[in-house]
Amino acid sequence: MAAKRIDGKVISAYIKERAAKEAAQVAQILGRKPCLAVIIVGENPASKVYVNNKKKACEACGITSLEYALPELTSERELLDLIGTLNRDDAVDGILCQLPLPGHISEEKVIEAISPEKDVDGFHPVNVGKMLTGGDGFLPCTPAGLIEMLKYENIPIEGKRCVVIGRSNIVGKPAAILMQRENATVTVCHSKTRNLKEILLQADIIVASVGKPHFLTADMVKPGAVVLDVGINRLPDKTLVGDAEFAEVAEVASYITPVPGGVGPMTVAMLMQNTVMAAKRSAALNDS
């Protein structure tokens, strides 16, 4: 029996609807809508698409969206100065700098320059530390979206064996931490892992985030496992595919996320949730 598709569009719409209700309540206290500032440097076409999607989501959720489109040759100092200005602006709740940045700008410096209280991407070391210790910080959007998808579908996480393929700071590592926080037993695999197939065949939940098209095949998946495909790969014919060989893995898994329309929409929805959370914290300060 073919796996059930986990529909990211449906779940993200639910999250955004919830965020919109909370945004309206916060606006009553603050006297303004929650506000997200998005910075994009250069002309990366994929980044422009992402920024546009974020702008549309802000509009749908009752969030003010400020866009700062900077030229490719913007200096690191100019970018850091803009972030400093936005950090000090009480009318801005969240700041997001679209990655990747041009090679002459340090992504690490930029991430660390954003105030942890406005870091709605959840990348600042302070928020990463809070995630690790179970504190109340902002969670990175894509991994947090994976947890929301499982909960929406009532798929149990506690006590399950979860294998994460990939160890990036944006998806792999935080996904492993969040799965642990939900009491899964987690293994992180990567390019140096031996016996990958053997390890994957023990997994109840697989998070595929290697960035290689069709990397995960049916013979690597235990019957009935849940497959969360985070990969977004564009083939030479412009088709978008994930890290899983969808058609064949869907014959073995119990649940699977499609690409496109799976994890992708969740990332933007969780960003909206984080922005509203940042505004709620501002409102609590204003209210006290």
Catalytic center residues: 54, 98, 121
The helix/strand/coil state of 199 is: helix
- Written as one string, the DSSP assignment of 202-265 is T-SEEEE-S--TT-B-GGGS-TT-EEEE---EE-TTS-EE-SB-HHHHHTT-SEE--SSSSHHH
| Phi-psi domain of 224 (left: phi exceeds 0; alpha: psi -120 through 50; beta: other) | left
Question: What distance in Å separates the CA atoms of residue 280 and residue 273, rounded to the nearest whole number?
Answer: 10
User: Do residues 202 and 247 touch, judged by C-beta distance below 8 A?
Assistant: no
Question: What distance in Å separates the CA atoms of residue 94 and residue 78, rounded to the nearest whole number?
Answer: 19
| Phi-psi domain of 19 (left: phi exceeds 0; alpha: psi -120 through 50; beta: other) | alpha
SS3 content of the chain, % helix, strand, coil (to 5): 45, 15, 40
Question: Which residue in 120, 68, 79 sits closest to 102, CA to CA?
Answer: 79
Structural tokens at position 164:
């994460």
Structural tokens at position 219:
């013979």
Is the Cα torsion angle 85, 91, 95, 97 positive or negative in sign? negative
User: Do residues 255 and 6 touch, judged by C-beta distance below 8 A?
Assistant: yes
Question: What distance in Å separates the CA atoms of residue 207 and residue 26, rounded to the nearest whole number?
Answer: 34
Question: What distance in Å separates the CA atoms of residue 262 and residue 231, rounded to the nearest whole number?
Answer: 10
